[in-house]
Amino acid sequence: MNKRIYLCLARMSETGMEQKYVKEAFDSNWVVPLGPNVNAFEKDLEDFVNHIDTPDGKKAMDKKVVALSSGTSAVHLALIACGVQPGDEVLVQSFTFCASANPVSYLGATPVFVDSEEDSWNMSPELLEQAIIDRFEKTGRKPKAIIPVALYGMPYQIGEIMEIAEKYGIPIIEDAAEGFGSRYQGQVLGTFGRYGVLSFNGNKMITTSGGGALICPDQETKERIMFFATQAREAYPYYQHEEIGYNYRMSNICAGIGRGQMTVAEEHIRHHQHIQQLYEELLKDVPGVAVHSSRQSAFQSNFWLCTIMLDEKLRVKGQERAYQTAVNGAVGGAAGMVHAGGSVHTDCEPNDNVEAMRLGLDEAGIEARPLWKPMHKQPVFAHCPAYLNGVSESVFARGLCLPSGPYVSDDDVHYIVETIKSLILK
């Protein structure tokens, strides 16, 4: 196979609707933040997230959506709306990408990390409640917000987490950046908590090239979020600012891409789910390799990325050479890395056989990546409190992400699986 198979790249609609809406923006000279495409994209998103699929038919909510420049900006604005200030604490899932936690630090607050439960790999409800009780005992104050994450698209234990949040009166900000279109009991992730975060980065289920959105509980809250996202400009004929704002609104160009992507959103979700099923079928009898899923029927994951676990006793070709050479460039696709690393090893890293498998797949033209390194093991957050059970570190040591995007075909999956088999030593 001569082509390279990437982890997850967004795909444009076959009808070219993205180009149509972008051309309209250029033709009308709406090449700025705000505009007709932004308004229409927000309406499309609201229609999408507000439908609840139930056995007795579809029901609807009335959530509102603000289109923003990134999923990270959505987390930041949600924290502001929850009143997070310097000195506060926010409970954040440890097993996630740094964008879930970084905005807490932007505000001078402290992320308090909560480890995972084994089924979904997402925030452990048991540890969450322990953390709330312990933080109150230590600080005399409740954390200001809870941020569960839909890791790789998998729903979190939202029923238990919502119950705990309501018990202690703490708002939930759902980080569904990886979970666009994933559902729990038929309801879209991001619509359970007070706020829901979406991402439209170039590797997500749908893309606006870069961008995100915040799901809000009502129109009044939406308008407040838009106020902060447009530099907090007051209603005067000149620029009057009474609060600190941010330049976080989505551009009319990017929103045009998003409008076109919404026409294929369900198709993309079905494709990812199909690829997951194919991996499960083809790898079910391979000793030492397990495809991660969930045992809960209420979970409807979009399977943004398909992930596998390698038994620590599994032997892989080239394993003795793993970690011999420091990484000097981007690991996978357009990941982009401009800061040179230090030593070859850190105190928390994937097992040798996982790194050997990643390198072997790379040599075969297949992009694969380690799972997210837990936030409580990131040097930048070493000072932050953490409530741990060992799950995220254990999974990080054994896990690997496989290609699953819209460009990944059935033939690609067969090739990937055969390559995995060929790299395993008997």
End-to-end CA separation in angstroms for the chain: 24
Are the CB atoms for 400 and 358 separated by under 8 Å? yes
Mean pLDDT of 4-20: 91
CB neighbours of 359 closer than 8 A, spacing ≥ 6? 318, 322
Residue 261 has pLDDT above 70, yes or no: yes
Mean pLDDT of 89-111: 98
Residue 104 has pLDDT above 70, yes or no: yes
Domain ranges of the chain: 17-264, 266-423
Using CA of residue 391, residue 416, residue 353, residue 363, what is the dihedral sign?
negative
Report the predicted TM-score, pTM, of the whole model to 2 decimal places.
0.95
Distances 23 to 18, 182, 212, 240 between C-alpha atoms, Å: 9, 31, 21, 34
Q: In the structure encoding, which two tokens stand for residue 288, read together?
A: 């030492």
Residue 334 has pLDDT above 60, yes or no: no
Indicate the average pLDDT of the chain: 94
Task: Give the separation between CA 167 and CA 175, rounded to whole angstroms.
Answer: 21
Q: In the structure encoding, which two tokens stand for residue 71, read together?
A: 């999923």
Task: Give the separation between CA 132 and CA 165, rounded to whole angstroms.
Answer: 9
Q: Output 332 or 369, whichever has higher pLDDT.
A: 369
Q: Which of 28-37, 52-61, 93-102, 128-137 has the lowest mean pLDDT?
A: 52-61
CATH (residue range 17-264)? 3.40.640.10
Q: In the structure encoding, which two tokens stand for residue 317, read together?
A: 């070709």
HSE value, Cβ hemisphere, 13 Å, CA-based, for 75: 27
Are the CB atoms for 142 and 135 separated by under 8 Å? yes
CATH topology of domain 266-423: Aspartate Aminotransferase, domain 1 (3.90.1150)
Residue 332 has pLDDT above 60, yes or no: no
115-152 per-position pLDDT tens digit? 999 999 999 999 999 999 999 999 999 999 999 999 99
HEC letters along the chain: CCCCECCCCCCCCCCCHHHHHHHHHHHCCCCCECCHHHHHHHHHHHHHHCEEEECCEEEECCCEEEEECCHHHHHHHHHHHCCCCCCCEEEEECCCCHHHCHHHHHCCCEEEEECECCCCCCECHHHHHHHHHHHHHHHCCCCCEEECECHHHCCCCHHHHHHHHHHHCCCEEEECCCCCCCEECCEECCCCCCEEEEECCCCCCCCCCCCEEEEECCHHHHHHHHHHHECCECCCCCCCECCCCCECECEHHHHHHHHHHHCCHHHHHHHHHHHHHHHHHHHCCCCCEEECCCCCCCEECCCCCEEEEECCCCCECCHHHCCCCCCCCCCCCCCCCCCCCCCCCCCCCCCHHHHHHHHHHHHCCECCEECCCCHHHCHHHCCCCEECCCHHHHHHHHEEEECCCCCCCHHHHHHHHHHHHHHECC
Query: How confident is the model at residue 231, as a pLDDT?
Result: 96
Task: Give the separation between CA 184 and CA 186, rounded to whole angstroms.
Answer: 5
Are the CB atoms for 360 and 395 separated by under 8 Å? no
